[in-house]
Amino acid sequence: MSAMVALACAPATEAQRRPAPVHGYTLVATFPHDTTAFTQGLVFHGGELYESTGLNGESSLRRVDLATGRTRQRIDVPREYFAEGLALVGDELIQLTWQHGLGFVYDRATFTQTRTFRYQGEGWGIAYDGQSQLVMSNGSDTLTFLDPKSLAPVRTLRVHDAGRPVGNLNELEWIEGEIWANVWMTDRLARIAPATGVVNSWIDLSTLYPPAERVPPADVLNGIAYDPATKRIFVTGKKWPRLYQIAVK
pLDDT higher at 18 or 74: 74
Phi-psi sector, 43: left (phi>0), alpha (psi -120 to 50), beta: beta
Residue 8 pLDDT class (50, 70, 90 cuts): very low
Q: Is the pLDDT of residue 2 over 60?
A: no
Task: Say yes or no: domain 18-237 is CATH 2.130.10.10.
Answer: yes
Q: Is the pLDDT of residue 1 over 70?
A: no
Q: Is the pLDDT of residue 5 over 80?
A: no
Quickly list DSSP for 92-137: EEEEEESSS-EEEEEETTT--EEEEEE-SS----EEE-SSS-EEEE
CA dihedral 190, 195, 198, 204 (to 10 degrees): -20
Residue 17 pLDDT class (50, 70, 90 cuts): confident
The whole-number average pLDDT for the span 215-221 is 94
User: 26-44, pLDDT tens digit by residue?
Assistant: 999 999 999 999 999 999 9
Q: Is the pLDDT of residue 159 over 70?
A: yes
Q: Is the pLDDT of residue 198 over 70?
A: yes
- CA pair distance 10, 132, nearest whole angstrom: 24
Q: Is the pLDDT of residue 184 over 70?
A: yes
The whole-number average pLDDT for the span 54-66 is 98
Task: Report the DSSP beta bridge partners of residue 224.
Answer: 235
Q: Is the pLDDT of residue 210 over 60?
A: yes
User: 115-128, pLDDT tens digit by residue?
Assistant: 999 999 999 999 99
Q: Is the pLDDT of residue 12 over 90?
A: no
CA dihedral 40, 44, 46, 52 (to 10 degrees): 0
Backbone φ and ψ of 210, nearest 5°: -55, 140
The whole-number average pLDDT for the span 63-83 is 98
Q: Is the pLDDT of residue 82 over 70?
A: yes
Q: Is the pLDDT of residue 77 over 80?
A: yes
User: What is the DSSP-derived secondary structure letter of residue 211?
Assistant: G
